[in-house]
Amino acid sequence: MEKIMTKEILLTGDRPTGKLHIGHYIGSLKNRVKLQNEGKYEPYIMIADTQALTDNARDPEKIKNSLIQVALDYLAVGLDPEKSTIYVQSQIPALFELTAYYMDLVTVARLERNPTVKTEIKQKNFKDSIPVGFLNYPVSQAADITAFKATVVPVGDDQEPMLEQTREIVRTFNRVYNTDILVEPKGYFPPKGQGRLPGLDGNAKMSKSLGNAIYLSDDAKTVQKKVMSMYTDPNHIHVEDPGQVEGNTVFTYLDVFAPDKDKVAELKEQYQKGGLGDVKIKRYLNKVLEEELGPIRERREKFAQNPDAVYEMLLEGSKKANEVANQTLQEVREAIGLNYFDRLNK
């Protein structure tokens, strides 16, 4: 008898706080498309609008306007609604009920110790004005993951503490309610050195707020202008000067994007000896980026011509996600003992 192979459930997503940039692309989106097309996984891709509201509640238009932009970026890079369920977090009510049940199993002290939360609270400068929803978002994230019984969650290295919090909630729930319905997820991390792309200005992080990003929606002229302004070696003033490769953003990008690694090695050697100008390596990087981003840009422009079709795709994905999450919610309610009226249906 032939053995039926079941696919692993994969879940990931993004906050809709603006268009996605090449840091998102190299850190997660490109890998998602690869995993989607391998056929070993059943991917659920979430646009986490509710999570975005935890620190943008007073600017809902930002979230609303960004939703379609993120969806367009998804489709442009190759995420396929025929292979992946792409849905909107706020349209799945079961997630919020699951969050409420999980909150009772986690202490405030545990949330405050979460390294990822501590770092982001500091970055956002909340001080004593931390929104409850923001502090609680590791619990909400646990609901997002367990609602679909995801076993694989592609994340950056800095998100491992969030996954561990989810695993703790799963273990606590299953132990307290004497069940095994919730599944512990494992992280799927990007290749070493590709988890985070530095900003154009040499800042350790590429981000929308710092204005140091190349967006997937940028046209060719904008990309070229940004590349030509990139941070290199401030001491490399003349072409004949020896240059520093380490910390040089242009070479960091070439290491990630350039397919010809031998040529990059040659350019590094020449740059370090002296005799290679910044303009030349920036022009080469621009060529490399255009080869990668050009087709993405063309697909994005095509999808953008019919926004109603994009919203329809999100609606259909949300309907499917709703069905799956509601099934898990029913199992959770039964495990806790909240199915008081099931006897009336017998």
Give the number of other CB atoms < 10 A from CB of residue 200.
20
Instruction: Give CA–CA dist 104/330, Å, rounded.
Output: 18
What are the DSSP E strand ranges found in the chain?
Answer: 8-14, 41-47, 85-88, 152-154, 186-188
The answer on whether 24 is annotated among ligand-binding residues is yes
Q: Is 7 annotated as a binding residue?
A: no
Q: C-alpha distances in angstroms, 154 versus 19, 158, 233, 247?
A: 20, 12, 33, 27
Confirm whether residue 209 is marked as ligand binding. Answer: yes
Cα angle vertex 314, ends 18, 33, to 5°? Answer: 70
Distance CA(70)–CA(16), nearest Å, equals 6
Beta strands in 192-249 (DSSP E): none
Q: 1 labelled as ligand-binding?
A: no
Distance CA 9, CA 41 (A): 6
- Judge whether 228 is annotated as a binding position: no
Residue 15, annotated as binding a ligand: yes
Residue 137 phi, psi dihedral angles, 5° rounding: -65, -20
Structure tokens at 187: 């992280």
Residue 138 to residue 70: CA distance in whole angstroms: 22
Residue 149 to residue 127: CA distance in whole angstroms: 35
Helices assigned H by DSSP within 54-158: 60-77, 94-103, 108-113, 115-123, 132-135, 137-146
Is 207 annotated to bind ligand? Answer: yes
Query: Residues forming the annotated binding site?
Result: 15-17, 23-24, 144, 156-158, 197, 205-209
Query: Residues forming the annotated binding site for ATP?
Result: 15-17, 23-24, 156-158, 197, 205-209
Query: Residues forming the annotated binding site for L-tryptophan?
Result: 144
